[in-house]
Amino acid sequence: MICEVEMSYTEQFGVKPGRALKLDKIDPAFTDCRESHKDAAKELDRDRDKLRSLQELLYADGRFSLLICLQGLDAGGKDGTINHILGAMNPQGCSVVGFKQPTREEVAHDFLWRIHQQTPPRGRVTIFNRSHYEDVLVVRVHELVPEAVWSHRYEQINAFESALVDDNTHILKFFLHISKKEQLRRFKERLDDPAKQWKISESDYKERRFWGDYKRAYEDALSRCSSKRAPWFVIPSDHKWFRNLAVARIVVEYLEGLKMRFPRPSVDIEHIRREYHAAKER
């Protein structure tokens, strides 16, 4: 089943630059016209195939790189999304970088230092599992630096991203939006499943208490740092299959819009073709 969408997901889930964002107005359980994973199976397959060819084209074309930033609360589905997107691509052209609490060396530098070192070179795709946005999210919520410092970071982030885009590093940023209820359900699943218990961290339940603070921090970060050139998307993520579908679709639409091309062969194809035919005759 393919939904007859009136609006592309790029438009529908894109955060309008500079406009106030209210996450409560976005339903985390939205699935468009589909009722189950089964309804989405064909589309998921189709987009996975497209992702694979587009990433190969990005690699061959060699002019652009793609940076995907994933943000979300605990159990929001960052790992699952990475698995889905990268699972479709050739591992030789991709990488994943996770950002945890900064090390002593990292905090001794400006907050973008560790980030810039990991941005993708031309022809490649990098996914950030958490990103420089932690420095206006967890850092703001827990007052790890004074407000005078974090409040200046939105502008610094915009300037940094703009410089990357100028240099053909394209940036897509996804906030995986889950409900508080779904987060609790996923925590419970982790508690009950021995294969998932390793994912539980001490801070998970503690951080739930800051749900409202995180929501406000996300609303500010997304509306202040979404731009046409480095857009943020709010992805309804209570249903993992819909989340995967929406993220993959937006990446596909974006890459298709880049008008990439295979480079001209560096060898004389006609000459090699003649050699091939001559070899066949022998």
Query: Where does this chain bind Mg ion (CB under 5 A)?
Result: 74, 201
Binding partner at 100 among ligand AMP, Mg ion, none, C-beta below 5 to 8 Å by kind: ligand AMP
Rounded Cα–Cα distance for residues 127 and 97 (Å)? 6
CB of 199 to Mg ion, least distance (A): 7
Binding partner at 139 among Mg ion, ligand AMP, none, C-beta below 5 to 8 Å by kind: ligand AMP
Rounded Cα–Cα distance for residues 17 and 224 (Å)? 7
CB of 206 to ligand AMP, least distance (A): 10
Binding partner at 130 among Mg ion, ligand AMP, none, C-beta below 5 to 8 Å by kind: ligand AMP
CB of 157 to ligand AMP, least distance (A): 12
| Residue 74 or 238 with smaller CB distance to Mg ion | 74
| Residue 25 or 100 with smaller CB distance to ligand AMP | 100
| Residue 99 or 175 with smaller CB distance to ligand AMP | 99
Binding residues (CB under 6 A) for ligand AMP: these are: 99-102, 130, 134-135, 138-139, 144, 201, 203
CB of 257 to ligand AMP, least distance (A): 31
Binding partner at 235 among ligand AMP, Mg ion, none, C-beta below 5 to 8 Å by kind: none
| Residue 30 or 113 with smaller CB distance to ligand AMP | 113
CB of 142 to ligand AMP, least distance (A): 8
